[in-house]
Amino acid sequence: MKNNKGQFVKGSTPHNKGKKQVEYISPDKIENIKATQFKVDGLLAENHPSWKGGIQQPKGDCNYIYKDKNTRLRKPRVIYEENFGPIPKGYVVWHKDGNKKNDHPDNLEAISRAEMMRRNGPTKNK
């Protein structure tokens, strides 16, 4: 049910609740929809057009490495653990020079979250 602004009224029942798609959409329209529907293994990992060989480079954050199709790991953590062993619980990997793209082992260190807060906090406390 809609109000005079064309908006659904809170608590109203959707027209397709409990119905199968074939009950409220014609078969020819269902065929047209299939081209744009989400597919389980559609655009993940190497199937995605912007795939860069297992490394994702988001803006303003560190790089990610794909372990499996649906599992990504932070590249600095992987490099730190390969060189220095497991990271203790409650610790994070810190880039010493502040450049999140510089993942050289000499530039990485594991620090506690409390230490990270001190380093990221206001400059007057340093």
Per-residue model confidence as pLDDT tens for the chain (126 residues)? 678 888 888 888 888 889 998 898 999 998 988 888 776 666 666 777 666 667 766 766 778 887 776 778 889 999 999 999 999 999 999 999 988 888 999 999 999 999 999 998 876 554
Q: Are strands 108-112 and 64-68 parallel, antiparallel or unpaired?
A: unpaired
CA distances for 119 relative to 112, 114, 124, angstroms: 11, 9, 11
The CATH number of whichever domain residue 121 belongs to comes to 3.90.75.20
Its domain, for residue 114, covers 45-125
For residue 28, being part of any structural domain is answered with: no
Instruction: Report d(CA 45, CA 68) in Å as an integer.
Output: 8
Question: Whole-prediction pTM value?
Answer: 0.55
For residue 39, being part of any structural domain is answered with: no
For residue 4, being part of any structural domain is answered with: no
pLDDT, tens only, 93-113: 999 998 888 899 999 999 999
Joined tokens for residue 122? 């206001």
